Amino acid sequence: MTRFKLNPIATTFVAACALVACAIGLFSVESRAADDKAGAAAPKPAMTVTTTQPQRGSLPQRLSANGSIAAWQEAIIGSESNGLRLADVKVQVGDTVRKGQVLATFAAETIQADVAQARAALLEAEANAAEAQANAERARTLQSSGAMSASQINQYLTAAQTAQARVASAKAALQAQQLRLQFTEVRAPDAGVISSRTATVGAVVPAGTELFRMVRQGRLEWRAEVPAAELPRIQVGTPATVTAASGVQLNGRTRMVAPTVDPQTRNAIVFVDLPQHPQVRAGMFGQGDFTLGNTDALTVPQQALVVRDGFHYVFVVGPDQHVAQRKVETGRRVGTQVEILKGLDAGATIAVQGAGFLNDGDVVRVSNPASNSAPAQKTPAQAAIK
């Protein structure tokens, strides 16, 4: 059998090739293992979110209160005539009347007869006074001649004065009857809106009987119940926004703060003048806010807040794209912005869109990474407030 002897150089070359092949194979296996390990260590993002930073701005400071909408003043219009029949009622509930307008009339025949009688009595008294005055003048002319005694002259002079007194009395009686005649027309004491009516045609009512009620000048006010501790924050002229039960919002101003506090509720009444509105009526319930000025606040979009178990949370996005759940305390709301009182730093980056689907520790993909380095823009609501 023939045996081959290898050259030492060839033997060295074959050994070197074998070593290179083993090294390449070993490197490939280690590379694949490292890649598999790295892929297993990098979790996939849970979802894609948008982020923003909290904003600082000026927000209005408000004090909320509840109360009733009532008439500024309600006038009671009654009868000034006694024992007369109500002949006509000219207005109904809800009618707007002007000052001096006739609301109702009583039958005036009896009063007209009394006026005529008083006028006749005045004419008679004036005639008697004229005769007595003439007699007194003649007595004065005879005083120096001695044809009449002093006592007779005094009688004529006294009779003239008595006649003048009877004339004055007759004039007063005529004025009283004319005033009664005026009372047969019930007139509005001021401009306003009729709020109730008890007048009935044909009724014979005594003097002082209520016939109508009227909201003077149609003015309404909101009587807000404010805790005693908050009263120093409200001054005369403080603006307020009132929402009536009909949904209408009215802007008013504080006219007066009650000088006393209810000892049962420890609340005081704050009177706020309201403008007229056809859908707002006395007796409605009103909820409103007093505007007490502006203060600086840290705000976030409402969409960034997540409510869980009755608490508010935000998700802070870290540099490694992991999110951390932070419990926050909220305050005022203006538009889509919500004030954060505590629990969040001003420089934090929070998830906005998609925050409601996140859990603590999730990995996210940020769709707007460039916006994190730029200052946050103010919302239109904040720009308007500023």
* 98-144 confidence digits (pLDDT tens): 999 999 999 999 999 999 999 999 999 999 999 888 888 888 877 76
Q: Which pTM does this prediction carry?
A: 0.61
Say whether pLDDT at 157 is over 50: yes
Residue-level pLDDT at 377: 45
What number is the average pLDDT over the span 75-101? 92
What number is the average pLDDT over the span 222-231? 94
> Within 13 Å, how many C-alpha atoms sit on residue 150's CB side?
0
Q: What is the strand order of the sheet 102-106 is part of?
A: 185-187, 102-106, 84-89, 204-205
Residue-level pLDDT at 382: 43
Q: For residues 206 and 177, what is the distance between their CA atoms, to the nearest angstrom?
A: 17
Say whether pLDDT at 355 is over 90: no
What number is the average pLDDT over the span 247-254? 93
Q: How far is CA 13 from the centre of its chain?
A: 100
Residue-level pLDDT at 139: 81
Burial of 244 (C-beta count, 10 Å sphere; 0-12/13-18/19+): buried
Enumerate residues 6+ apart whose C-beta is below 8 A from 235.
254, 257
Which is more confidently placed, 48 or 8?
48
Mean pLDDT (the chain) is 84
Residue-level pLDDT at 124: 92
Amino acid at 219: R
Give the other-Cβ count within 10 Å of 362's Cβ. Answer: 20
Say whether pLDDT at 69 is over 70: yes
What fold, for 44-72+219-386? Elongation Factor Tu (Ef-tu); domain 3 (2.40.30)
Same fold? 44-72+219-386, 108-182: no
What number is the average pLDDT over the span 303-325? 91
pLDDT band at 368 (very low <50, low <70, confident <90, very high): confident
Q: How far is CA 283 from the centre of its chain?
A: 14
User: Which two tokens mark 312?
Assistant: 């508010």
Residue-level pLDDT at 66: 95
Say whether pLDDT at 314 is over 70: yes
Q: For residues 227 and 225, what is the distance between their CA atoms, to the nearest angstrom?
A: 7
Tell me the CATH number of domain 108-182, given options 1.50.10, 2.20.200, 1.10.10, 1.10.287: 1.10.287
Residue-level pLDDT at 214: 93
Say whether pLDDT at 34 is over 50: no
What number is the average pLDDT over the span 32-58? 70
Say whether pLDDT at 372 is over 50: no
User: Which two tokens mark 188?
Assistant: 């509005």
Say whether pLDDT at 27 is over 70: no
Q: For residues 126 and 121, what is the distance between their CA atoms, to the nearest angstrom?
A: 9
> Within 13 Å, how many C-alpha atoms sit on residue 60's CB side?
18
What is the separation, in whole angstroms, between the first and last Cα of the chain?
106
Tell me the CATH number of domain 74-106+184-217, given options 2.40.50.100, 3.20.20.70, 3.40.190.10, 3.40.50.300: 2.40.50.100
Residue-level pLDDT at 169: 94
Cβ pair 268, 319 in contact under 8 A: no
Domains of the chain: which residue ranges? 44-72+219-386, 74-106+184-217, 108-182
Q: For residues 211 and 105, what is the distance between their CA atoms, to the nearest angstrom?
A: 11
Q: For residues 43 and 38, what is the distance between their CA atoms, to the nearest angstrom?
A: 10
